[in-house]
Amino acid sequence: MTGAWDLLVARDGFSKTELVDRDVREPGAGEVLLKVDRVGMTANNVTYALAGDALNYWSFFPADDGWGRVPLWGFADVVESNAAGVEVGARIYGYLPTSSHLVVRPDRVSAGGFTDVSEHRAELPRVYNRYAFNAGDPSYAVENEDLQILYRPLFFTSYMLDDFLGDNGFFGAEQVVVSSASSKTAYGMAFCTGLRDGRPQLVGLTSSGNVAFTESLGCYDSVVSYDDLESIPVDAKTLYVDVAGNQKLRVRIHEHFGDRLVYDAIVGAAHMEGLTPPPDVSGPQPEFFFAPSQIQKRRGEWGPGELDKRYAEVWSRFTPKVKGWVDIEKSTGPEGLRAAWLEALAGSIDPRKGHVIAL
C-alpha cells in the first residue's frame, strides 16, 4: 500500500522532525492493519519523548536509528485483517504512532478489544498494548470522541493516581499540593480526589497567568501562584504531586514544608527538565508514579472488567464538567500533526485548548 507516511522526531533534539513517505507492510497471518484516523496532542506526549529511553516509550513504534515515532492516543480503523475476531471496519481506541498506519498482532481478543503481542512489544507494559473496540467499550460515546482522545489517557492516569494515593491513605497527608494545576492530568486527579469523603484539602499551584482559569474549574480548595508558594500554611502534613517537573520548584517545596512533607510523587514533566535526576533534597525522596503498576495491582485485586467499570462511572461524571473547560482546536494531516507536536514541545498550549488532529 502506498500513500503512507511516518512523522519522525530526532531523539537527540525533539524539535527536529522529518516527514517520510513509505509503503505499508501487508499484514501477515494473525496480523491486522490499522489506519490511524484521529489523534490528540498534549503535554503528555512530550513526556513520552522525554522518558523515551528511560521508560522504553520509543520501543513501542520502532524507527530508524536516531529517530523516534512519538506515541499518541486516538482512534484507528481496521482496514485489513488476518486475525480471528477482528473484523474489517471495526473502530478501536488505543496507543498509536505518529504515522498513517500500524500493523498489530491481536491476541486475547474479546468483545472489549485485543492485546497487541507483536514481538517488539512483548516486554513492554501491557496496558499500552491493549486496544479497545468502540462497540464493547463502556466508556465510549460517539459524541465524546474528541474528549476521549484528549482526556482518556490523561484522565486514566489521574484516576489511577488518585486511586494509588487513596490506596495508601494519602500517606497521612492533610493537604495535597499539586503543581501545574491547570494541566489536564492535575485537575483530573483533583476532580477524582474531590469525590472522596474525608479527603485532604487540595491546593493547586500554577503560574500567575493561569490562576483564574484554575480557580474556575472548581477542583481545588485553593489556588496559589508559584510566586506565592510560601504563603501556603505549613501546619498540615503535606503530600506533593509534581506534574510540573520543575526541579527548582521541588527544592522550594521541600524547604518550605520541611518535616511536614510526607510524600513527593513525580507524575509528569510539563517542563523540559522534568525527567532529569532530581536534586538532593531533605525529607521524602521523589518517587515516580507509574500508572501501569497500579493498574496491574487493581486488575489483580478487582478481577476482570471491574477496573474498566469503575473508571467508566467516574468518567461519566467527569465528561459533563470538562466540556466547559476545554476549547477543541482541530487540524488535519501530517503537517497539522507536526505543527501540534512543535506547539506542545514549546509548552505553549493554552490550558483551555485541546488539540485533535484528523489524519
The model's pTM is 0.81
What per-residue confidence (pLDDT) applies to 231? 97
Three cell numbers, residue 279: 536534586
Mean pLDDT of 182-194: 95
The full set of domain ranges for the chain reads 4-137+328-358, 151-292
What per-residue confidence (pLDDT) applies to 349? 65
Average pLDDT score over the chain? 92
Same fold, 4-137+328-358 and 151-292: no
What per-residue confidence (pLDDT) applies to 273? 42
**Are 44 and 96 a contacting pair, CB within 8 Å?**
no
pLDDT over 70 (residue 269):
no
Residue among 252, 200, 189 nearest 226 (CA): 252
Q: How confident is the model at residue 348 (pLDDT cuts 50, 70, 90)?
A: low
Helix, strand, coil percentages (3-state) for the chain, rounded to 5, are 35, 25, 35
**pLDDT tens across 137-175, in order?**
888 999 999 999 999 888 999 999 999 999 999 999 999
Mean pLDDT of 171-197: 96
pLDDT over 50 (residue 272):
no
pLDDT over 90 (residue 27):
yes
Helical packing angle, 306-322 and 291-302, nearest 10°:
130
d(CA 128, CA 122): 11
The CATH architecture one would assign to domain 151-292 is 3-Layer(aba) Sandwich (3.40)
What per-residue confidence (pLDDT) applies to 245? 81
For 31, 90, 91, 306, the CA distances from 135, given in Å and listed in that order, are 20, 8, 8, 18
Q: Which fold has domain 4-137+328-358?
A: Quinone Oxidoreductase; Chain A, domain 1 (3.90.180)
Q: Which percentage of the chain shows pLDDT scores above 70?
A: 96
What per-residue confidence (pLDDT) applies to 2? 61
